[in-house]
Amino acid sequence: MALWGGRFSSETRNEVTQYSESISFDQRLYHFDIAGSKAHVTMLAEQGIIPAETAKAIREELDRIERRIDAGEFRYDIAMEDIHMHIESALIEALGAEGARVHSARSRNDQVALDIRLYLRSEVDSLIAELRHFQRALVAQADAHPRTVMPGFTHLQHAQPVLFAHHLLAYVEMLDRDAERLAGCRERINVMPLGSGAIAGSTLPINRERVCEELGFSRVTRNSMDAVADRDFAIELVSDLAIFAMHTSRLSEDLILWCSQEFDFIELDDAFCTGSSLMPQKKNPDVCELTRGKTARVYGALTALLTMCKGLPLTYNRDLQEDKVAIFDALDTVKMILKVYPPMIETMKLKEEKMLAAASDPALMATDIAEKLVELGVPFRTAHHRVGAFVKYCREHGKALDEVTLGEMKETIPEATPEFLTLFDPVASVAKRNITGGTGFEQVAKQLDFWKKSLEF
């Protein structure tokens, strides 16, 4: 009979047992379930709810169970449903009725809420550390090429010359926001729900604050009903993971474009690419493509959690067992991305001459001409119109912008001077963008210095 089976007169059907088990995926919570149980029995003994010697024996047996699980010597049985019942059953098997005292003043409802918070708190700490490693890889690649000029794009059209380092540092900024979001989410994860019971707390004189202190939480939950029903923290975390995955998917798309024959700006190391089973010449950026696909999985996990919770009445409902499937899959997917991307970025090779050649199209300096007119006192919209007319004139006459004479330029830009004919150098164009946040050499050097200090290179 199951540990909860006293009220029942018949055994659960085998099909229901298979349908309702969660041990196949929640066994990864064992370390946190054991930590929570040890803190709980310590408090129970201090409050005089169970004998001190019983608490000591339970803690020691929990340590032995943990070692057995670590060593792969613990047997799982779907009839015991979840990791909580497995560990409690093992305690009872070893200690008899005294082992059953572990469940005094708690429910699986507040127990699982505790376990998942402990687990996610640990995972978030690891994720932030991995994000910082990813940032360092991007900064190192940018720092190795501080003067590499490339075309920047809007609408996937050549727009203006920018520094390659500036482009990579844009992703460093994105990852920094990801880390900030995770740190904020950790604060909301780090709240202790144990002692809320199934819904209403306990009549026993427990000390929730003592367990909170023992487990390193910042505070206890204030409402027992919310404590067992709340999955906001999990939804928030998976939302943060979805945003991170979106960022890496955008980076992936850039990399895919850059290593195509049409762009030919970079080459990814062979270790991060695959070939074709049919076409011997192919080298495919599969890691990047898979990341775009895996981003959809993380989005799916977020949608699953939101949909699962949207119609649930207070308090706990068994639907919430499925939260872990989505949470674990999103976490596992993001952790795989974080493992593969830093070394792929670090080993990426640049084709700087091709980047510069693509950025040397004089049309990319059209805005420089307009802003030069602004310096001379021409209103920007007037300047914009005149430069647009100049571009049209060049196209109609089959000339590049830097191939016209001063006289030809004056036909559409009457204010033009000989200096205007020197504005078509992409390196000079980049250098002049020396404003905070700009792509100028000095500004990017400051950005690199900031990030190297912030990330403790």
Active-site amino acid positions: 155, 276
How many CB atoms are closer than 10 A to CB 307? 11
Q: How many residues does the chain have?
A: 457
Distances (CA, A) of 96 to 57, 88, 105, 223, 302: 11, 11, 19, 34, 42
Two tokens at 126?
């690891």
Two tokens at 120?
């996610």
- CA-to-CA distance for 43 and 207, rounded, in angstroms? 7
- 3-state SS, residue 191: strand
> What residue type is assigned to position 214 of the chain?
E
Element (H, E) at 220: strand 219-220
- CA-to-CA distance for 298 and 327, rounded, in angstroms? 9
Which three-class secondary structure string do you get for 87-143? HHHHHHHHHHHHHHHHHCCCCHHHHHHHHHHHHHHHHHHHHHHHHHHHHHHHHHHHH
DSSP string, 308-373: HHTTPPSS--GGGGGHHHHHHHHHHHHHHHHHHHHHHHHT-EE-HHHHHHHHT-GGGGHHHHHHHH
CB 74 within 8 A of CB 62: no
- 3-state SS, residue 260: coil
> What residue type is assigned to position 65 of the chain?
I
